[in-house]
Structure 1
Amino acid sequence: MKWSELKVHTTNEAIEPISNILHEAGASGVVIEDPQDLYLKDDVKLFGTIYELDPNQYPEEGVYIKAYLPVNSFLGETVDEIKLAISNLVKYGIDIGKNNVTISEVNEEDWATAWKKYYKPVKISEKITIIPTWEEYEPVSSDEIIIELDPGMAFGTGTHPTTVLSIQALEQYVDEGDIVYDVGSGSGVLTIAAALLGARHIKAYDLDEVAVKSTQNNVKLNQVQDRIEAKQNNLLEDVEAGADVIVSNILAEIILEFIDDAFSKVKPGGYFITSGIIQGKKNDVKDALTSIGFDIVEVNAMEDWISIVAKKPE
């Protein structure tokens, strides 16, 4: 079978919305080539990140997002729809950068092999290491937590700075027996991390059906399905209150839409962990959090990304 590789040259800010556009268009997998990944090991060198990446495949600025679409009679129409949807992101204040879109043809065997070179075991915090399903890995300590992921189904391989920041915050603030809500679960990596860190029950929500299925599959892969409820839902709409921790790794613009819901649905003394925030939106999110009543506990940064941990007063 023939596949077309569609490559979009864009910005870090646009990774998640463009990835979502590509998945909804029927892409069988998305690869993100971010030159910052070449240096991520320097940012988390204490955790021993493992990479086998070729710098020549990465842009000098911005990122490449590659999607794989089957070659059929509808391909041209699909590509046009993708281009239009990406261009429309500027209406929401999202910087799409150069927005250069190119197409090339690849064989299915080449595509399948290409996937695996992008994903290697990554130790991203004191306790947690993420490994793709096809990699063999021996834990280096008795208390190391291993998360297995199949990254081919939805955005969220665990290696992006926003995910690293989120997991590091979960490791610090999730206590044994907590109830956690993961808003915008993607591949389910944060949901799984919360479970393995001792959360009693996790509710994982995503508007994208592909992401919900990916979360469910990865949850089963890590054998924590007995504590996790993954379902399609728009943010925290019609969700009952009672979370000890709410975590959301999505765009700042979306976080701003449900801060009031997060405040009403997290317990007094509970935490709201937000990530996926670019530097330019940091103060917008901080101001919105404090204006609704949250106390800012900490603000962390990795590369151009921000994570904010807020606490609801007791």
Structure 2
Amino acid sequence: MNWKEMSILTTNEAVEPISFILHEAKVGGLAIEDRADFLRDRDHPFGEIYELDPNDFPEEGVVIKAYLPETNGLMETLASIQEKIKQLADFQIDIGKAQITITDVKEEDWATAWKKYYHPVKISERFTVVPTWEEYHPAENELVIELDPGMAFGTGTHPTTVMCIQALEKTVRPGDTVIDVGTGSGVLSIAAALLGAKSVKALDLDSVAVEAARQNISLNQADDVITVEQNDLLQGITTKADVVVANILAEVIISFSGDASNVVKKNGFFITSGIIEKKADEVKKALQQAGFRVEEMIRISDWVALISRRKN
């Protein structure tokens, strides 16, 4: 089978929502090329991608590359993706040029070439994310999350995910109950389990994400701690949690902050990420109105994560 590479030139702000659109379309793989990763000065050692090649990055903006098999419904799928990307502008998301190009990729090239993007990445003081095909020997007290990026939903090294894991390190205690809203690859649930959580509930509305999370959780032998469910945010969830974590768009966080307040235990934590810096104040206001006190803001590039505590 041959494949089509769909290359989308967009903005950093649009990476997460466009990636979600592509995952909904069941793309066979995803790569993100952001020139800011190559140019920016790094003030911390985490989330690094080493030996960067300038030829792999666009002159401006961000390029998202998705891979789709050549099937009878391919043209309709491509048209649907393009239309949904255009509609993001209706939600005040800057999609930039949203320039799309399509190229052919042979099966034998696709089978291995995409792996060049993925290597072990240290994302915090304790955590390193390792692709399943890489041999890696952790240092003493280092925690390793093993992921298969080919399943779906990335490698866990996007700034929003990195910040969530750093926030989990600060808040999760052995024996805690944790809820991961919008689990995607399941990486945050796995991190919570490795930090000693007694019980983790991983939730996602997307059935593809649910399956990907289950497979990654099995890879990390965390099935006895983590349960994965298909669910719309926190609707119908009555379990009380010491920590709730959500790496979702700012608008979505705002929409269910009240539900989070009902689920988080008194003095428990609500970790939120996926927030562009210019929208941080809106999210903080919603969290405060829902009964949370924002205790810490973490920043990487233009992204923000908030650690909030339920007051009563």
| Class of the TM-score when normalised by the shorter of the 2 chains | over 0.9
Structure 2: gaps (5+ residues): none
- Aligned match of 1:153: 151
- Cα distance in 2 for residues equivalent to 1:247 and 1:40: 28
How far apart in 2 are the matches of 1:59 and 1:150? 26
Map of 1:310 onto structure 2: 308
Asked if 1 retains the 8 angstrom alpha-carbon contact of 2:47 and 2:159, the reply is: no
Deviates more, 1:47-56 or 1:282-291: 47-56
Match of 1:13 in 2: 13
Instruction: Note if 1:295 corresponds to 2:296.
Output: no
CA–CA separation in structure 1 for the residues paired with 2:167 and 2:215: 24
1:257-272 matches, within 5 Å, as 257-272=255-270
Aligned partner of 1:236 among 234, 244, 260: 234
SS in 1 for 2:100: strand
Provide the rounded CA distance (Å) in 2 between the counterparts of 1:49 and 1:280. Answer: 24
- The CA distance in 2 between the partners of 1:29 and 1:123, in whole Å, is 22
Aligned amino acid, residue 179 of structure 1: T
1:80-99 counterparts in 2 under 5 A? 80-99=79-98
Name which of structure 1's ranges 266-275 and 49-58 shifts more when overlaid on structure 2. 49-58
1:3 Cα deviation after fit:
0.4
- Tell me whether 1-10 or 153-162 shows the greater mean CA deviation: 153-162
Matched with 1:203 is 201
* Partner SS for 1:42: coil
Q: In structure 1, what residue type is equivalent to 2:63?
A: Y
Q: Is 1:136 the counterpart of 2:147 in the alignment?
A: no
Q: TM-score, normalization: structure 2? A: 0.96
Cα separation, 2, equivalents of 1:312 and 1:105? 51
CA distance in 1, matches of 2:40, 2:221: 29
Which shows bigger deviation, 56-65 or 303-312? 56-65
Deviation at 1:41, TM superposition (A): 8.3
Alpha carbons 1:187, 1:211 under 8 Å: kept: yes
Q: 1:213 to 1:146 in 2, by over 3 A?
A: same
CA RMSD in angstroms, aligned pairs only: 1.5
Identify if the C-alpha distance between structure 1 residues 50 and 147 changes in structure 2 by more than 3 Å, giving closer, same or farther.
same
Deviating above 6 A after TM superposition, structure 1's stretches of 4 or more consecutive aligned residues are none
2:63 equivalent in structure 1: 64
After TM superposition, the structure 1 stretch with the greater mean CA deviation from structure 2, 13-22 or 181-190, is 13-22
Identical residues among aligned pairs (%)? 57
List alignment gaps of at least 5 residues for structure 1: none
Separation in structure 1 between the aligned mates of residue 191 and residue 129 of structure 2, nearest angstrom: 10
Displacement of 1:223: 0.1
Query: Is 1:248 the counterpart of 2:238 in the alignment?
Result: no
Secondary structure, counterpart of 2:224 in structure 1? helix
TM-aligned CA deviation for residue 82 of structure 1: 1.0
Structure 2 match to 1:55: 54
Q: Tell me if the contact between 1:156 and 1:189 (Cα under 8 Å) persists in the aligned partners.
A: no
| TM-score normalized by the length of structure 1 | 0.95
**After alignment, is 112-121 or 128-137 more displaced?**
112-121
Partner of 2:277: 279
Q: 2:180 and 2:252 mapped to 1: Cα distance? A: 14
1:250 to partner: Cα distance: 1.0
Distance 2:248 2:304 in 1: 11
**How far 1:74 moved relative to its partner?**
2.2
